[in-house]
Chain A
Amino acid sequence: MPVYNRVEAQIRSILKGTDYLQVNVDGLAEDADLYAAGLNSHATVNLMLSLEEAFDIELPDRLLRRRTFSSIRSIADALAEVGIKAEAA
């Protein structure tokens, strides 16, 4: 099993709890295209809400873009911008 940092593990855990993707989350690289894996625009909003709830944050307007949610890494980058940073795993 690969070892993920805390934030990435939590993003993966959120994705696993939904049916947004049509592939196994464990098999996804951190830069894999989530839209190619089945994420649609409706689910993107729900994913945003789940992330805000899980990390107790509010994503600002400038981060509410399609590309923010395009991969696990881009989500982690956006979270880092609002202060959610992972310590080295």
Chain B
Amino acid sequence: MKPWLAAARAVGVEAASRHADDVDQRARFPAEAFAALKKEKLLGLLVAKSEGGAGAGIADVVAICHELGQRCAATAMIYAMHQIQVACIVRHAGGNAWLKGFLKRVANDQLLLASATSEAGVGGDVRSSICAVEEQNGRFKLTKEATVISYGAEADGILVTARRTPHSPASDQVIVVVPKTGYELDQESAWDTLGMRGTCSNGYQLRASGEMAQVVPVSYAEVSAMTMLPVSHLVWSALWLGIATDAVARTRGYVRAQARKKGGAPASAGRLAEASSQLQLMKANVVASLRHYEAALGSEDDLAAPAFAVAMNNLKTGTSQMAVQVINQCLLVSGLAGYRNDSAFSLGRHLRDAHSAALMVNNDRILANTGNLLMALREDSGLLE
């Protein structure tokens, strides 16, 4: 096991798990888990060694999200969203000295990065912006009505999408990296939700300014297709798999306890087997998609191909639904023991957290997008290549 996966496992068991119920009940930021993740230097994992990071790959982050997802889904989601932002800068900074310097700070100072893509007035379409980068003398100003900035108040920097110029169409977007010293946030809405309560995804008006060098040099369309979208779907799926994995583990514990008392597996063990089979499918999907992404990484053509986008979209819509199905199965197995909030077999938080999966970037929107992409798909690849 790689040292950082072992470290993440320890953080999961000792910090994230211990405070998960309190984070959930009070809808508060998982501060203990993030203090521990920063102490273990796990926020700068993707930053190149030459810039002070660990030079790790997406597979390492995916494995950590899976690990944390089993302990505290909100912690895993915040960690996942942070790494999505880092992955975008790492891949698309090009020769931009400001962005490279910022990556060094991410690694050295263990900065936590958030994202401001959602905006009031675009109907939930993150590929459209109303706000724009307003340039003057090499500097920019930007004001965004961000309907959601997860852990915005706790972040050390935010990546903001906006139109390239005030004259650009809504779809011609760029992404701007703004450290905490470069923005002000006015909270406009709170986050009191069914699940994923610890992500503290409040709404804010964001007012940012800085140097033009903070604008990522390629279009957001490219950043999104090549990095943000595939990495998001991979790390999210991994943590949803983590939630479902812990639900199955708790339920297995319940069935084993019953079996010990009665001297044999109860009838409900058959349904546990079904849950375990679904979990295996989910896991296979995550791992195969991760390998697909790793194989495409070296070629911009492969990353931009419709078949790749279809595969990554299918991963998201598939695993997000399956996580809820697995937990529902588990609930039928453990019955009231799983339904109770005060039992060791409780599945309430798991179920509530998992229900966010189909909604965060709504599956209906993704399915419509995939349906459109399928018109450009020529043939499916073979079984083993």
Which A residues contact B (CB, under 8 angstroms)? 22, 35-42, 45-46, 48-49, 58, 60-62, 64-66
Contact = CB atoms under 8 A, between A and B. Distances in A.
6 contacts: A35-B171, A41-B127, A42-B372, A61-B379, A64-B378, A66-B221
Contacts of A42: 369, 372
Contacts of A66: 221-222, 225, 304
Given A35-B221, A40-B221, A65-B301, 4 more contacts: A36-B169, A38-B171, A61-B379, A66-B225
A49 B372 CA distance: 10
A68 B376 CA distance: 13
Interface in B291-307: 301, 304-307
Interface in B205-230: 219, 221-222, 225
B190 interface: no
Nearest to A61: B378
A26 to B, nearest CB: 17
B164 interface: yes
A42 B333 CA distance: 43
Given A42-B369, A64-B305, A65-B301, A48 B376 contact: yes
Contacts of A65: 301, 304-305
B222 A38 contact: no
Contacts of A36: 164, 168-169, 172
Contacts of B383: none
Nearest to A22: B169
Contacts of B379: 61
Given A35-B219, A41-B225, A42-B369, A60 B168 contact: no
Given A22-B169, A36-B164, A36-B168, A45 B127 contact: no
B375 interface: yes
A64 B169 contact: no
Interface string B112-146: 00000000000000011000000000000000000
B373 interface: yes
Given A35-B221, A36-B172, A66-B304, A49 B375 contact: yes
Nearest to B300: A65
Nearest to A65: B304
A37 B372 contact: no
A82 to B, nearest CB: 13
B307 to A, nearest CB: 8
B133 to A, nearest CB: 14
A41 B221 contact: yes
A64 B306 contact: yes
Contacts of A41: 127, 221, 225
Nearest to B307: A61
A42 B171 CA distance: 11
Contacts of A46: 372
B210 to A, nearest CB: 23
Contacts of B219: 35
A42 B221 CA distance: 11
Nearest to B127: A40
Residue of A39, A40, A65 ringed by the most chain B CB atoms within 10 A: A40
A45 B171 contact: no
A64 B376 contact: yes
Nearest to B164: A36
Interface in B330-385: 369, 372-373, 375-376, 378-379
Q: Which 10 A-B pairs have the closest CB atoms?
A: A38-B169, A40-B171, A22-B169, A61-B378, A45-B372, A45-B376, A36-B172, A64-B376, A65-B304, A66-B304
B375 A45 contact: yes
Contact of B305 (A37, A39, A58, A61): A61
Contacts of A38: 169-172
